[in-house]
Structure 1
Amino acid sequence: MGRRKPYLVGHQEFARLYRVDPKQVAQWLSPSRGSVLDPSTAVVVSGVRYWPLGFAAEWGATTTRFRQVDHDAKKQIIAEQGGEGWEPRLAAELPPIVGQHEIIQIFRLPTQGTLATTIARGRFPEHDWLLSGSMLWMLDTVLDAAEMLRETARTLPWGVDEAVVTAMRDGTYDGPGSRVLTRGRHARKGY
């Protein structure tokens, strides 16, 4: 839609930057390892962390154990996301970003299947990012499609919940998808 989007990375892309297995990124976040990678440097979308590319590419040089970034991987990640973006360094620089969990709340959809069907049938706007296997959109991309969704719907109203949108713009959204779902041994310990 003509917006310049920021370059982002998920766990898989972060791992590509440093030529490690994606599980290594989770270990860098692990409290038992002293959180080498501070979780607050990421944004959480649909329960998953995503980082600004500028931060992720510089991170290796800031750790006590220097890690060399793979500049070819960085170029490839930029190419995959389109060459007209920009490289933020802080999560606070990012526009509101949504995934399927947040979109369900924006439109008050009855099920995730409703949204998945709409996406599969090509009635939903194309995702702005495909990161670590997940589709993400800028909030404005989704809101720009609201009228079209209402006009082409058979039964659902596709009404926008303005309170949810306001919370997302203000950075105060705390609904489904706003927290990382902890798995494994840390989930049992309450991290």
Structure 2
Amino acid sequence: MCGRKPYLVGHQEFAVLYGVEPQMVGQWLAPSRGVLDPATAIVVSGVRYWPLGFACRFGKTTPRPKLLNVRYRKLLIADQGEGWEPDLGDELPAIVGQQEIIELFHLPSQGTLATRIAQGGFPKEDWWLSGSRLWLLDTVIEAVPELQVSARSLPWEVDDKVEAALRAGTYEGPGSVVLTRGRHARKGL
């Protein structure tokens, strides 16, 4: 493992790797298709993300093999900076999005965090994938002293239980599950 950050992909990046529309990744995930096992992804702020190693290997594992866009793979790696290429979600460090951060600090609203990010008062994201910001939990924790010093009214105190659950992979708070959308959402009720 070189570098502290693993290479990841979201729905949009996964789709580009195989030259399909992002909706196709959702279709591959559908139980009726059974092409892409949801367990191969991690869930951060209610969205699935895959280790790049798995995503690149995926095309060879399907009944109808899919051709990998090797150029785009190289672009992803260059864009994400120094890191390493994991194959399984179990290999990943704790990764958080806005929902997990709100729970970690018990912030009063998503707007509080969004404003802090927009004003540049929060650490730069480690990834920008499929339109979402993601951070290594360590990036956020390392920034706590600076967040506390620059805070006007919020204490920016870490909930140790939430942090421990995120690190152990047992977090079950907001953002820990993918919410079903579209026409299949009603079937889950």
User: Does TM, normalized by the shorter one, top 0.5?
Assistant: yes
Q: Deviation digits for residues 52-82 of structure 1, max 9, x if unmatched?
A: 0000000000111100111001001111111
Q: Could you tell me how far apart the structure 1 residues matched to 2:16 and 2:76 are?
A: 9
Q: Could you tell me how far apart the structure 2 residues matched to 1:170 and 1:126 are?
A: 24
Question: What letter corresponds to residue 185 of structure 1 in structure 2?
Answer: R
- Secondary structure of the residue aligned to 1:135 is strand
Question: What letter corresponds to residue 129 of structure 1 in structure 2?
Answer: W
Following superposition, which runs of at least 4 residues in structure 1 exceed 4 angstroms of deviation? none
Match of 2:146 among 148, 173, 189: 148
Q: Could you tell me how far apart the structure 1 residues matched to 2:61 and 2:154 are?
A: 49
Report whether the alignment pairs 1:29 with 2:9.
no
Q: Could you tell me how far apart the structure 1 residues matched to 2:100 and 2:152 are?
A: 22
Equivalent residue number for residue 120 of structure 2: 122
Question: What letter corresponds to residue 172 of structure 2 in structure 1?
Answer: D
Identity %: 65
Question: What letter corresponds to residue 39 of structure 2 in structure 1?
Answer: S
When the two structures are superposed, what TM-score results if normalisation uses the length of structure 1? 0.96
- Secondary structure of the residue aligned to 1:31 is coil
Equivalent residue number for residue 168 of structure 1: 166
Structure 1 unaligned spans of 5+: none
Q: Could you tell me how far apart the structure 1 residues matched to 2:12 and 2:80 are?
A: 14
Cα RMSD, aligned residues only: 1.2
Q: Could you tell me how far apart the structure 2 residues matched to 1:68 and 1:3 are?
A: 28
Structure 2 unaligned spans of 5+: none
- Secondary structure of the residue aligned to 1:50 is strand
Q: Deviation digits for residues 22-76 of structure 1, max 9, x if unmatched?
A: 000000001122x210000000000000000000000000111100111001001
Give the alignment of 1:8-157 within 5 angstroms: 8-33=8-33, 35-82=34-81, 84-157=82-155
Q: Could you tell me how far apart the structure 1 residues matched to 2:74 and 2:4 are?
A: 17
Q: Could you tell me how far apart the structure 2 residues matched to 1:3 and 1:126 are?
A: 17
- Secondary structure of the residue aligned to 2:32 is helix
* Superposed displacement of residue 3, structure 1: 5.3
